Amino acid sequence: MRRIILRSVAALTLAATVTVPQQATAQELPPLPQPPIPQPTIPTVQDMRKEVDRIEYEAYKALPKELQDNPAFAGSSRPAATQSGKPRTDNPNQTDKAKSQSIADDTCSNCVAITYDDGPDALTEQLLDTLKAKDAHASFMVLAPHAYAHPELLRRMKAEGHTVGNHTDTHRELDKLPANEVEAEIKSGAAAIKAATSESPRWVRPPYGATNQTVANAAKNNGQAQALWSVDTLDWKDRNSDHICAAAVDGAQAGDIILMHDIHVTTVDAAPCVIDGLRARGLEPVSLDTLIPNPEPGRQYLSR
Q: Buried b / exposed e across 200-221, counting CB within 10 Å, b at 16+?
A: ebbbbbbbbbbbbebbbebbee
| Confidence category of residue 144, pLDDT binned at 50, 70, 90 | very high
Name 137's Cβ contacts closer than 8 Å, sequence gap at least 6. Answer: 131, 160, 161, 162, 163, 285, 286, 287, 290
State yes or no: pLDDT of 222 exceeds 50.
yes
Where are the chain's structural domains? Answer: 103-301
116-to-165, 212, 236, 271 alpha-carbon distances in Å? 10, 22, 11, 11
Catalytic residue ranges: 117, 261
The DSSP result for 191-203, as a single string, is HHHHHHHSS--SE
Write the single-letter amino acid at 140. Answer: F
Q: Report percent pLDDT > 90 for the chain.
A: 64
Bridge partners (DSSP) of residue 37 are: none
Question: CA 160 to CA 67: how far, in whole Å?
Answer: 39
Which of 36-40, 155-159, 187-191, 288-292 shows the lowest mean pLDDT across its residues?
36-40
Name 272's Cβ contacts closer than 8 Å, sequence gap at least 6. Answer: 130, 134
Rg of the chain taking only CA atoms, in angstroms: 32
State yes or no: pLDDT of 43 exceeds 80.
no
Question: Are 285 and 278 within 8 A, CB to CB?
Answer: yes
The CATH number that domain 103-301 falls under is 3.20.20.370
Q: What are the phi and psi torsion angles at 75 (to 5°)? A: -130, 25
